[in-house]
Amino acid sequence: MSPSAWVENRPTAGRRALDWREVWRYRELVAFLALRDIRVRYKQAAFGMLWALAQPLAGLLVFTLVFDRLAGVPSDGVPYPLFVLVGMTFWTLFSGGLSAATASLVANSSLVTKVYFPRVAAPLASVLPRLVDLSVTLVLLALLLAVTGTLPGPQVLLLPLVVLWAVGLAFGVGLTLATVQVRFRDAHHALTLMVQLWLYASPVAYPSSLVPAEWRWAYALNPVAGLLDSARWVLLDTRPPAAPVLVSLAVTGLLLVLGVRVFAAGERRFADVI
């Protein structure tokens, strides 16, 4: 056997960083973990992939009844059902990814305590299955767009970037919460509450144009606001997002950096305290 390099394990001095090259080397594990989650979710489910539509459609129904019919909320000049479906699609992508990433370490605790792998593979793998749900919803959306004759503009080509934004945001916040959850099991109660409030604080069922102009900048501190404005512009050709979207983007970036920092700092004790 050829003498290969030493691999060391010693106490970290100072701040830890995540080793992304190593994550790349473990990409097959990430893929298999994601695949496992997908298979397990759709196995023995009579309606299989159609369940992916359940949440966006339920939201569509309720919000159309309450906000459109009863409250008469405006919808940026597109049919309200389409408006809310795009909102729900990206909201579900974000909130579903966030819940999965938060639970990912505890859900894989036997792996965490029994084998070595870059820990960040777990939250990373847990957000990927959400893309399957997303593609199912997008097919439905495309059908609706075709039926109603609403055509997106050329900016539809930016769709992958918007998806990346939603996933990145879920991943970033999820990294922080997953680290907290390893220590405190009841963190998920807090998460459920937080996600519920966050939904109403985001322009899912109403347009952000409803927010008074002088508050737009503050409102954009909620990164989901900028995300949903962009998603609607990309898919429904509504008004292009205004300058506050940059605030949302910056906050997303900050949350990602924070998540990576918190995760990297907590990582070395995961196997001990989980």
Partner 1 sequence: MTNAIEVEGLGKRYRLGEGLASGTLRDAVSDGVARALRRGGRSRDEAADVWALRDVDLAVPQGASLGIVGRNGAGKSTLLKVLARITEPTVGVSRTRGAVGSLLEVGTGFHPELTGRENVFLNAAVLGMPRAVVAARLDDIVDFSGIGRFLDTPVKRYSSGMYLRLAFAVAAHVDADVLLVDEVLAVGDAEFQRRCLGRMEDLGRSGRTVVFISHNLDAVLRLCSTALWLDGGRVRGVGRTADVVDDYLREATPDAGRRSFAEDPDSPVSLLGIDVREADGGSAGRLRREEPFVVEVDLGVRERVPGLDLAVSVETLNGVRLLDEALSDTAQSGPGPLAGPGRHRVSLTLPPLLMPGEYLVNVWAGTTYETLVWEHGAARLRLEGSHQARPDRLLAAQGVWTVTAAAPR
Which stretch, 82-90, 110-118, 193-201, 223-231, contacts partner 1 (CB under 8 A)?
110-118
CA-nearest of 107, 73, 57, 257 to 171 is: 257
CA dihedral 8, 13, 19, 22 (to 10 degrees): 10
Which stretch, 24-32, 46-54, 241-249, 258-266, contacts partner 1 (CB under 8 A)?
24-32
- 116 binds partner 1, rule: CB under 8 A: yes
CA-nearest of 190, 202, 240 to 90 is: 202
For residue 208, which phi and psi values (nearest 5 degrees)?
-70, -15
Query: At CA 88, angle to CA 166 and CA 229, rounded to 5?
Result: 60
- 265 binds partner 1, rule: CB under 8 A: no
Report the residue from 17, 24, 36, 62 that binds partner 1 according to the rule CB under 8 A: 36
Nearer to partner 1, 1 or 243 (CB): 1
What CA–CA distance (Å, rounded) separates 194 from 190? 6
What CA–CA distance (Å, rounded) separates 212 from 215? 5
Report the residue from 6, 160, 212, 243 that binds partner 1 according to the rule CB under 8 A: 6
- 192 binds partner 1, rule: CB under 8 A: no
- 177 binds partner 1, rule: CB under 8 A: no
* Dihedral of alpha carbons 231, 232, 234, 236, sign: positive
Report the residue from 161, 190, 201, 265 that binds partner 1 according to the rule CB under 8 A: 190
- 14 binds partner 1, rule: CB under 8 A: no
Q: How far is the CB of 96 from partner 1 (least distance, A)?
A: 20
Hey, which residues between 45 and 84 contact partner 1 (CB under 8 A)? none
- For residue 127, give the amino acid letter: V
- Residue pair 262/179 in contact (Cβ under 8 Å)? The answer is yes
Footprint of partner 1 (CB under 8 A): 1, 3-12, 28-29, 31-33, 35-36, 39-40, 43-44, 108, 110-117, 183-187, 190, 268-269, 271-274
